[in-house]
Chains A and B, each alone.
Chain A
Amino acid sequence: MGKASRASFGEALVELGKEFKQVVCLDADLSKSTKSESFSKNFPERFVQMGIQEANMIGTAAGLALSGKIPFLCSFACFLTGRFDIIRVSVGYSNANVRLVGTHSGCGIGEDGYSQMGLEDIACMRTLPGMAVLQPADDLETKEMMKYLVKHQGPVYLRLTRQDLEAVSPANYKFQFGKAVALKEGTDAVVFATGGLTANSLQAAKDLEKEGLSVAVYNIHTIKPLDKECVLSWAKKVKHVFSAEDHNIIGGLGGAIAEVMAEAGSSAKLTRIGVHDTYGESGSPEDLYVKHGLNSTGVARTVKSVLNS
Chain B
Amino acid sequence: MNSKSDILSLKQTALEGRRWILKMLTEAGSGHPGGSLSCIDILTALFFHEMKVDPKNPEWADRDRFILSKGHGVPALYATLGLKKYFNVEDTLTLRKMGSPFQGHPDRNRIPAVEACTGSLGQGISIAEGMALAARMDHKDYHVYCLIGDGETQEGQVWEAAMSIPHHHLTNICLILDANKYQIDGAVKDVMDLGDIGKKFEAFGWNVLSIDGHNMEQIVEALQKAKAEKNRPTFILAETVKGKGVSFMEGVNKWHGVTPNKEELQKALAELDQAEASLQ
**A positions within 8 Å CB-CB of B:** 24, 45-46, 48, 50-51, 53, 55-69, 71, 85-86, 88-90, 93-95
Chain B nearest Cβ from A50, distance in angstroms: 7
Contact between chains at A67 and B117 (CB < 8 Å) = no
Minimum CB distance partner of A86 in chain B: B123
A-B contact list, 10 entries, CB within 8 Å: A46-B137, A55-B156, A59-B125, A60-B133, A62-B130, A64-B133, A66-B108, A88-B120, A89-B117, A90-B127
Contact between chains at A56 and B126 (CB < 8 Å) = yes
Report the separation of the CA atoms of residues A86 and B127 in the bound assembly, to the nearest whole angstrom.
10
Is B128 part of the binding interface, using a Cβ–Cβ cutoff of 8 Å? yes
Chain A nearest Cβ from B198, distance in angstroms: 21
Q: Which residues of A contact B134 (CB under 8 A)?
A: 63-64, 67-69
Minimum CB distance partner of A50 in chain B: B164
Mostly helix, strand, loop or mixed at chain A's interface? helix
Contact between chains at B137 and A45 (CB < 8 Å) = yes
Is B157 part of the binding interface, using a Cβ–Cβ cutoff of 8 Å? yes
**B positions within 8 Å CB-CB of A:** 61, 107-109, 115-120, 122-135, 137-138, 156-157, 160-161, 163-164, 167-168
Q: A63 with B128: in contact, given A45-B137, A90-B123 (CB under 8 Å)? A: yes
Q: Which residues of B contact A57 (CB under 8 A)?
A: 126
Q: Which residues of B contact A95 (CB under 8 A)?
A: 108-109
Contact between chains at B126 and A60 (CB < 8 Å) = yes
Q: Most chain-B CB neighbours within 10 Å: which of A58, A60, A69, A93?
A: A60
Contact between chains at B117 and A93 (CB < 8 Å) = yes
Contact between chains at A56 and B160 (CB < 8 Å) = yes
Chain B nearest Cβ from A82, distance in angstroms: 12
Contact between chains at B131 and A67 (CB < 8 Å) = yes
Minimum CB distance partner of A61 in chain B: B130
Report the separation of the CA atoms of residues A62 and B108 in the bound assembly, to the nearest whole angstrom.
12
Q: A59 with B127: in contact, given A68-B134, A89-B120 (CB under 8 Å)? A: yes
Q: Which residues of B contact A58 (CB under 8 A)?
A: 126
Contact between chains at B117 and A55 (CB < 8 Å) = no
The number of residue pairs between A and B whose CB atoms lie closer than 8 Å in the complex comes to 105
Contact between chains at A48 and B120 (CB < 8 Å) = no
Report the separation of the CA atoms of residues A93 and B107 in the bound assembly, to the nearest whole angstrom.
8
Chain B nearest Cβ from A58, distance in angstroms: 7
Chain A nearest Cβ from B206, distance in angstroms: 15
Minimum CB distance partner of A98 in chain B: B130
Q: Which residues of B contact A85 (CB under 8 A)?
A: 120
Q: Which residues of A contact B168 (CB under 8 A)?
A: 48
Contact between chains at B117 and A65 (CB < 8 Å) = no
Which 5 pairs across A and B sit closest by C-beta, in order of nearness? A63-B130, A59-B126, A67-B134, A56-B160, A63-B127
Q: Which residues of A contact B133 (CB under 8 A)?
A: 48, 60, 63-64
Q: Most chain-A CB neighbours within 10 Å: which of B107, B117, B125, B127?
A: B127
Q: Which residues of B contact A89 (CB under 8 A)?
A: 117-120, 123
Partner of B127, one of A45, A53, A66, A88: A66
Report the separation of the CA atoms of residues A63 and B133 in the bound assembly, to the nearest whole angstrom.
8
Report the separation of the CA atoms of residues A85 and B160 in the bound assembly, to the nearest whole angstrom.
16
Q: Which residues of B contact A55 (CB under 8 A)?
A: 122, 126, 156-157, 160
Contact between chains at B135 and A67 (CB < 8 Å) = yes
Q: Which residues of A contact B156 (CB under 8 A)?
A: 55
Partner of A56, one of B109, B120, B135, B164: B164
Chain B nearest Cβ from A35, distance in angstroms: 22
Chain A nearest Cβ from B101, distance in angstroms: 15
Contact between chains at B123 and A59 (CB < 8 Å) = yes
Q: Which residues of B contact A45 (CB under 8 A)?
A: 137
Contact between chains at B118 and A56 (CB < 8 Å) = no
Q: Which residues of B contact A88 (CB under 8 A)?
A: 120
Contact between chains at B117 and A59 (CB < 8 Å) = no
Minimum CB distance partner of B162 in chain A: A56
Q: Which residues of B contact A51 (CB under 8 A)?
A: 163-164, 167
Chain A nearest Cβ from B9, distance in angstroms: 31
Report the separation of the CA atoms of residues A65 and B127 in the bound assembly, to the nearest whole angstrom.
9
A-B contacts besides A58-B126, A59-B124, A94-B117, 12 pairs, CB < 8 Å: A50-B164, A51-B163, A56-B129, A57-B126, A64-B134, A66-B115, A67-B131, A67-B134, A89-B117, A89-B119, A89-B120, A95-B108
